[in-house]
Amino acid sequence: MKFSVASALLAAASVSAHTIIDELYVNGVSQGLHNCLRLPSYDGPITDVTSGDITCNGGPNPLNTVSKNVCGVAAGSQVSLRWGHTLDSGPNDVIDASHKGPIMVYMAKVSDAVNSAPPTSGWFKIYEDGYNGSQWAVDKLIANGGKVTVTIPSCIPAGDYLLRGELVALHAAGSYPGAQFYMECAQIRVTGGGSKAPATVSLPGAYKGSDPGITFNLYAGAKTYTIPGPRPFTC
């Protein structure tokens, strides 16, 4: 059996360059490393958009670090998700710069943020960032130490939610499966709020392998990019 240096380097790069959400902030205050998060044991991707693992991870990345806590968040306040290369990465170890792609954040109402199974239906997007012609969301994430900050909509009903952060790495997305989906769900309890009911999608369901943002040649020099899924809900 031949074993080339090139394939050895590729294998090393593919295992060393993943990412995982490891910390939640509410209005800039850390909720503690791994707290209020449903975390897999491993920072690898999901690649099958029809799999149940696309909802809140699992499958090849067993969810064996699931917090017993729910973090309180007032509607209208700011929540930051911090991506790190591994479960315990330092601030400057976010993700390999090869892993360019969009970042999205979704929410779904659940009866009990700690104990409810991840729902397939009921997801609404609250944030997305793709490519502006010179920088990808992932480039900005690396420059920002792994943090993305989103506003919890002020008009949604109070109660328990799963908050799902998702990063899609497109370095191998020229054919499907190839795009690498990195997602984790946070357990939050929204206080205040209102009574607006956002339009929702299913996960799995909202994505198809043929979506232009999922089968995408990162190296073709495109100046635009179509982010997968629905457009974000606004109050």
Ligand X SMILES: *[C@@H]1O[C@H](CO)[C@@H](O)[C@H](O)[C@H]1NC(C)=O
Per CB under 5 A, residues contacting Cu ion are: 17-18
For the bound state, the minimum distance from the C-beta of residue 4 to Cu ion, rounded and expressed in Å, comes to 20
CB under 6 A: which stretch of 102-110, 131-139, 172-180, 181-189 binds ligand X? 131-139
Count CA atoms within 13 Å of residue 47 on its CB side: 15
Note whether 135 binds ligand X by CB under 6 A. yes
Does 132 interact with ligand X (rule: CB under 6 A)? yes
At 160 the three-state DSSP class reads strand
Q: Which of 135, 217 has the CB closer to ligand X?
A: 135
Q: Which residues contact 147 (CB under 8 A, 6 or more apart)?
A: 25, 80, 81, 82, 83, 141
Residue 18 interacting partner from ligand X, Cu ion, none (CB closer than 5 to 8 Å by kind) = Cu ion
Which of 3, 4, 68, 133: binder of ligand X (CB under 6 A)?
Answer: 133
Report in angstroms how near the CB of residue 17 gets to Cu ion at its nearest: 4
- Which long-range contacts link 212-215 to residues 24+ away (Cβ below 8 Å)? 213/102, 213/130, 213/168, 214/49, 214/168, 214/173, 214/176, 214/179, 215/173, 215/174, 215/175, 215/176, 215/178, 215/179
Applying CB under 6 A, the site for ligand X has a residue count of 5
Q: Give the residues lining the site for ligand X (CB under 6 A).
A: 132-135, 140
